[in-house]
Amino acid sequence: MGGEGATRAPDAGATAAMMQTMDRMHGSMNKAQITKSIDRDFVTLMVPHHQSGVDMARVYLETGRDPELRRLTEHIIQS
């Protein structure tokens, strides 16, 4: 696991795709209607946060090569 592949050109598209998932997450979180109920607000903010993690994991599985990270991303998607 390491950053050795982080600057390779084929990985640039995947990295850009992951950044797009982060942008969508921030957009959703910024648009969330906060109710001042900690329970409701926690769920409202955590759903897009975790969806972004799942989306990033799917992007990683398209091109990622590290076996440990692949297992982690599969676990993220399953859970």
Residue ranges per structural domain of the chain:
36-79
Predicted local distance difference test score (pLDDT) of residue 41? 97
Q: Read out DSSP for 36-75?
A: S-HHHHHHHHHHHHHHHHHHHHHHHHHH---HHHHHHHHH
- pLDDT (tens, 9 = 90+) of the chain, 79 residues, equals 545 544 556 688 999 999 999 999 999 999 999 999 999 999 999 999 999 999 999 999 999 999 999 999 999 999 9
- The pTM of the full predicted model, rounded to 2 decimals, is 0.77
Residue 8 is predicted with a pLDDT of 58
Say which residue the tokens 């900690």 belong to.
38
What is the C-alpha to C-alpha distance for residues 44 and 47, in angstroms, rounded to an integer?
6
Indicate the angle between helix axes 67-78 and 38-63, nearest 10 degrees. Answer: 140
